[in-house]
Amino acid sequence: MIALALVALMLSAIPLALLCIGDPKRRRAVGVTEGTPTATRRLLAAAACAPGIGCALLGDAAALMMWLGGCALIGWAAAAVSAHRARPVQ
């Protein structure tokens, strides 16, 4: 159960980080005009959700709940770190 949840989190962390890095709104706020294209963002979102779907299909409800909470934590942390680094220097 815990091993499955950790593997699922590791597989979801990479697409979540890439989504955060290429967020067009965040990039526009710091003056960079180009972000990740919409099709790529949709594929990354699907890739981030795939491990959770795998947990659900395997019938491991505890791993699914841990994956959901972990993804929320990873997404929050990635957004917080990138917002701190993206502040314009004055």
pLDDT of residue 87: 58
CB 10 within 8 A of CB 2: no
Q: What number of other Cβ atoms are within 10 A of residue 14's Cβ? A: 13
pTM score: 0.81
The sign of the torsion formed by the CA atoms of 39, 42, 47, 48 equals positive
The vertex-65 CA angle with 44 and 4, nearest 5°, equals: 75
At residue 10 the predicted structure's pLDDT band, cuts being 50, 70 and 90, is: very high
pLDDT of residue 88: 57
Q: At residue 30, does pLDDT exceed 80?
A: no
Q: At residue 37, does pLDDT exceed 70?
A: yes
Read off the amino acid at residue 64. Answer: L
CB-neighbour burial class of residue 85 (10 A; exposed 0-12, middle 13-18, buried 19+): exposed
Query: Which whole number is the average pLDDT over 43-62?
Result: 95
pLDDT of residue 47: 96
